[in-house]
Structure 1
Amino acid sequence: MSSTKLRVAICGGGIGGLTLAVALSKYPDIEVDVYEAAERFREIGAGVMIWERTWRILTELGMSSEFSSIAHAPPDGSMGVGFDYRKSDQPQEGIPFYLFALPYGCIRFHRAHFLDVLVERLPSGVAHFGKRLQLYTRPGSDGPLILSFADGSRAQCDLLVGCDGIKSVVRRQMLQEKATSEGRPELLDYIEPFWSGSIAYRGLVPVARLTREDGSQHRTIASPMMYCGKSKHVVSYSISSGSIVNVVALTSRPQLEGSPYEGLWVIECDQQELLDCYSDWEPEVVEMLKCIEKPTRWALHQLRPLPCYTSSRVVLLGDAAHAMTPHQGAGAGQAIEDAFVLAGVLGHSSTTLGCLRDALEAYERVRLPLANHVLDGSRLSGMMYEFNGAQGGDLHTLGPAIGKQWDWLKETTPQGELERALHILNARMTEVVLAKL
C-alpha cells in the first residue's frame, strides 16, 4: 500500500467534480473525497454535448465503451455534422447557410445518463452527501484546510477543489481573501455571475412525435440543427441513443446584458409563451416547438473571465472557474479538460505536498487562458447566431465567421496541455533545486 501524499477534497459532484475524482482514483497515493450538497448526485438540464478532444479524454480514462452505449450513436471517428445552420426567422422555408462538419461530429448525451457513468466509476466511500460547504479555514500556514458544512460537520484536506458551479462558495471566499491579502479589490468584481441578457426555453421531445404520418422525419432527428434569426435562435439535437430530441430555444435582449435579473433563474412556463416567441418562424421550427408540452425557462448567466483559478491550497474547476453560455456546447467539455489536466499534474511523481502551490500554478497557467478564450468565444458565437455580431445578417460572411469560431477545437489537445503543464512544473522544480545549490 502506498502512503498518502495528498488528501484532495472535491466540493461539488457535477460532471467536472466526478471526472476529477475518477481521474485521481488511479493514483493510489492520493486520497479523494467528494462532498455534494444534495442528497444524491443529479444533473439539471437534459442534453450535453462534447467534441473529439473531450472524447479522447474519456477514452484515455477507460470509459469509451460505457459512454458509447449512451451516446446518440456510438462515436466511430468518421466525419459528422457539428451543426447545420439555417436562417429561420421567416414564415416560409428557411435558408441553409453554413454546415459545420468535423471528425466525430457533435457527440451527444442525456446529461443524467452521462453523470451515471461517472458515478459508476467512483470508488466506494468517496462520496459524501448533504454536505453544503459554508467556509474553509487554515489553522496554520502548513496545516490542513478545515472544511465546515451546513450540517455542522467538518472535514480536513490538503487541497480543496471548488467544483461547486456558477454560484461557487469556494470562488467567493477565495477571491475575497485574495482581494484583502494582496490588496486587489478588483477581484471582488469577479465573484458574482451576471445575466447574459438571454432566456432559454428547454424541452425534450420523443423522436416518435417528430415522425410524420407519411413516415418522414423531422430534420433534427438526423442532424444537430442551429436555427438562426434576429435576437433568437433554436438549437436541437438527438440524445439517448437517438430516441429523444433535446431542444433549446433562446431569445435575447443584448442591451440588458449585465443588468439585474429578477426572479428565479429556472422556472416552468406555459407552452404558449414559447410558441408566441417563435410564431413567425419557419414551419419546421414551429412544428418542433409544438411538441414541447412543458417547457422550462432559464435565465442564462455567466462569469467574467477570471484572472486566477488558485490561491494557496485552493483551486477552481469547471463552472466555478469559467461558467459560460452554451453556444459552443463547451461547458461540460471544458470542465472535463480541467479535470484531466489537474489530475495529471497532481498525480505526477514530482508533485508533493511541499510543491503543491507550484503544481496548481502550472494547471492555472495552462487552463485559464484557453478556458477564458472559449468563454469569450461562446458569447460571441451566440451573438453571431442571432445576427447581432459584426456580420449582422449577411449570410455570405456570417457562415465563414461562425466556422472560425470553432478553430479552438483543433488548435490544441488536452494531452498537449497536460504535457505543457508538467513542463512548467518540472521547470519550476529545477529552479528550486538550483536555488538551493
Structure 2
Amino acid sequence: MTDSSKLQIAIIGAGIAGLGAAIALKHHPAIDVQVYEKASELREIGASIALGPNGMRTLDRLGVQNALDDEVAFRNKSRYPMIYRHWKTNEIVSTDSHAGEVEYRHLTSRFYRAHLQEALAKHIDPSKIHLSKSFQSVAFDAATKKLIITFTDGTTATADIILGADGIHSPVRTFFVPTSSTAWTGWVAFRSVFPISHVAHIKDLPDEANHFWGPDRTFFVSKLGRDLFTVVGSYQADPNAPDAPYKDSTWNSDGNVDTIREFYKDWSPLVRQIVDAVPHTRVYPNSAAHPLETWVLGNGKVTLAGDAAHAHGGAFAAGGSLALDDAWAFASSILHVFPVDAKKKPTEAEIQKALRIYERTRKPHTDRVMRVVHENNLKKIAQYSEGKKLESDEQLRARIKNRADPSWIHEHDVQAAFAQAVAAEAAGRGASNEQARL
C-alpha cells in the first residue's frame, strides 16, 4: 500500500536497476518506494552476467555485501578482467587489464543472473514488490499533481515520480517516446548455464573467464558461483536480409545444442569437447535502439534506468554495471533535493531538478557507450556478411591485440560524474528544455 503523505516513487521493473534504486532509497523515512514487476514471480530471465569494478563498487556502496561474496561472484584468479584465446590453437593472444587500482572484492566478476537478483532482493521488504503488474499507461492528474499508472490487469497506482526500469523493450520508454523501439542487430547469443560437473572431466578446462575469438564468431566460457559453468556461443547475420536466420527468434527461447556443435565443429579440440558437453542452450537475439534526446519525461516526473534508458544490447558485458550505476545516480539525485532531514516534500520544480541532475550524471556516459556499440555493430555486419572473404589468421590476431580498451566503461567513476552534474546544475549550464510531455 502506498503512503500519499510521503514522496511516492514507483519503480517499473524488478531487475537489477529497479531493485538497486529501491535499495538506495529505502532508508529515507519520507520516501515510499513501490516496485511493480510484470512477472508472476521474482526471477531473472537470462544466463550469466558480468559486473566490472564500477558495478562491484556500486553494489558495495549500496550495502549488498552478499553479492560480493565468492559464493556467488566468480573472479579470475589472475585478476585479468578477460582473457582472449585463439580459436584453433587455444593460446592466449591477449588480456584485458584494470586501468586503476582495484581491490579484490571489486574485481570484474561473473554471476548467474538469478543469483545476483536474489542477492539484491534480500535487501528489500517483499511487501514493496508487486508481481503480475504489467505497465500499460500513465496519466497526470492535475488536481492532485500525481501520476496515475494503469496496469494491464486494470489496476492503478499513484506516484510523484516514476522510474522505468523495465528492460530493453521498455513499455515505459515507448509509451513516452513511441519512436524508441529496438531493432535486431543481427547478432544472436546461445547461452547455457549448467552444473560444472558436466565439463569437469575435460582436460585443460579453463578455470578462468576466457573469450575465444575466431574469424567469424566468438566463444565464451567461465565458471560461475555455486559450482555452475557458463558457455556463450554466437552467430552474426545481416539483420536486413529477409531470410536471415533467427530474424524472428525471441529472447530466452529454446535453442538446439546441435546448432552450436555445428557452429564450432572446426574449432580446437578443447572447444569442441566443451560444446559437446553442453546439456542445453537458449537463444538470445541482440537488440539495440538509438539514444534518447532526453531522459526527463512525463511533465518532468518520469525517467528511465538500465536497458530501458540505454538499449545498447549488452555489448562489452556492461549492462549490469550500467544499471547499478544508474540506480545509485537516480537515488543520489533524489536525495540531493530531498535529504533525509528535509522538513517537507520536494516541489515539482525540485523533482525536475533531481531528474536533470540524474540525466547529467548518466546520459553523456551511456550515449558514448551506445555510439561505440552502434559503430561496432555496423563493422560486425560488414565483416561477417555473406560472401565476404574472412580475415586471415594474421589479421585476426591483430584484431584481438588492437581491440579497444574497455576500461573507460568498466571503471567509470559515477560518484565523480554525479558531483560534476550537481555543480553544472548549480551553475545553470546546459539545462534541457526538451522535456517530453504526457
TM-score normalised by the chain length of structure 1: 0.84
Does the aligned pair in 2 maintain the 1:210–1:217 contact within 8 Å? no
Residue 353 of structure 1 is matched in structure 2 by 347
Residue 340 of structure 1 is matched in structure 2 by 328
Q: Which 5+ residue runs of structure 1 have no aligned equivalent?
A: 177-187, 432-437
Counterparts in 2 of 1:402 and 1:247: CA distance versus 1, 3 Å: same
1:347-383 C-alpha deviation (Å, 9 max, x unpaired): 1245723311121112112211211222343455678
Counterparts in 2 of 1:349 and 1:315: CA distance versus 1, 3 Å: closer
Residue 100 of structure 1 is matched in structure 2 by 96
Cα separation, 2, equivalents of 1:275 and 1:267 = 18
Does residue 157 of the first structure (1) align with residue 159 of the second (2)? yes
Counterparts in 2 of 1:205 and 1:41: CA distance versus 1, 3 Å: closer
What amino acid is aligned across from residue 342 of structure 1 in structure 2? F
Measured after TM superposition, the shift of residue 98 of structure 1 is 1.0
Does residue 235 of the first structure (1) align with residue 224 of the second (2)? no
- Report 1:24-423 matches (<5 A): 24-73=25-74, 80-88=79-87, 90=88, 93-102=89-98, 103=102, 104=104, 105-140=107-142, 143-176=145-178, 188=179, 191-212=180-201, 216-219=203-206, 222-241=207-226, 243-254=227-238, 256=240, 261-311=247-297, 312-349=300-337, 352-354=346-348, 355-378=350-373, 388=383, 394-395=395-396, 397-410=398-411, 412-423=412-423
Measured after TM superposition, the shift of residue 407 of structure 1 is 3.1
Cα separation, 2, equivalents of 1:392 and 1:426 = 52
Counterparts in 2 of 1:72 and 1:359: CA distance versus 1, 3 Å: closer
Q: Which moved more, 1:58-67 or 1:278-287?
A: 58-67
Counterparts in 2 of 1:330 and 1:62: CA distance versus 1, 3 Å: same
Does the aligned pair in 1 maintain the 2:219–2:234 contact within 8 Å? yes
Does the aligned pair in 1 maintain the 2:219–2:231 contact within 8 Å? yes
Secondary structure at the aligned position of 2:97 is classed as strand
Counterparts in 2 of 1:4 and 1:413: CA distance versus 1, 3 Å: farther
Measured after TM superposition, the shift of residue 422 of structure 1 is 2.5
What amino acid is aligned across from residue 152 of structure 1 in structure 2? G
Aligned length: 404
Residue 10 of structure 1 is matched in structure 2 by 11
Q: Which 5+ residue runs of structure 2 have no aligned equivalent?
A: 340-345, 385-389, 432-438
Cα separation, 2, equivalents of 1:17 and 1:400 = 37
Cα separation, 2, equivalents of 1:71 and 1:128 = 26
TM-score normalised by the chain length of structure 2: 0.84
Measured after TM superposition, the shift of residue 41 of structure 1 is 1.2
Counterparts in 2 of 1:66 and 1:276: CA distance versus 1, 3 Å: closer
RMSD of equivalent CA atoms? 3.0
Measured after TM superposition, the shift of residue 292 of structure 1 is 1.3
Cα separation, 2, equivalents of 1:326 and 1:74 = 20
Cα separation, 2, equivalents of 1:280 and 1:386 = 22
Measured after TM superposition, the shift of residue 253 of structure 1 is 1.8
Measured after TM superposition, the shift of residue 4 of structure 1 is 5.1
Measured after TM superposition, the shift of residue 334 of structure 1 is 0.4
1:269-311 C-alpha deviation (Å, 9 max, x unpaired): 2221111111111111111111112211221112222222121
1:221-246 C-alpha deviation (Å, 9 max, x unpaired): x21111111221111111114x1111
